């Protein structure tokens, strides 16, 4: 346990940032799953709306350094291909 006041504050700040980062990563994963479920069920409007949200949150995760840029681009490309190829 930290003894210095600034160290104690830093621990609190790190814990808060970690929680926010976990929330963003979980949101991205859940949106990807929801988009793929919409694709499988054939709901094109819902899938395209969810895909826009996925793009937004993937870009946020990249800007925060939570995931790599190439990973986000790959995930967006795969999802966009699935949405485009829906019947």
Q: Dump pLDDT digits (tens) for 30-46.
A: 999 999 999 999 999 99
Give the pTM: 0.86
Gap between the Cα atoms of 55 and 64, Å rounded: 14
Model pLDDT for residues 15-72, shown as the tens digit of each residue: 999 999 999 999 999 999 999 999 999 999 999 999 999 999 999 999 999 999 999 9
Cβ atoms 11, 54 nearer than 8 A: no
d(Cα 30, Cα 36) in Å, to the nearest integer?
A: 10
Q: What is the pLDDT of residue 13?
A: 97
Q: From the DSSP assignment, how many helices (H) and strands (E) are in the chain?
A: 3, 0
């Amino acid at each position: 346990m930290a003894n210095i006041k600034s160290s104690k504050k830093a621990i609190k700040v790190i814990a808060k940032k970690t929680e926010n980062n976990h929330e963003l990563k979980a949101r991205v994963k859940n949106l990807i799953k929801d988009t793929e479920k919409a694709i499988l069920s054939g709901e094109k409007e819902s899938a395209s709306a969810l895909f826009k949200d996925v793009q937004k949150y993937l870009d946020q995760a990249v800007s925060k350094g939570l995931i790599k840029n190439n990973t986000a681009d790959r995930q967006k490309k795969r999802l966009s291909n699935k949405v485009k190829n829906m019947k």
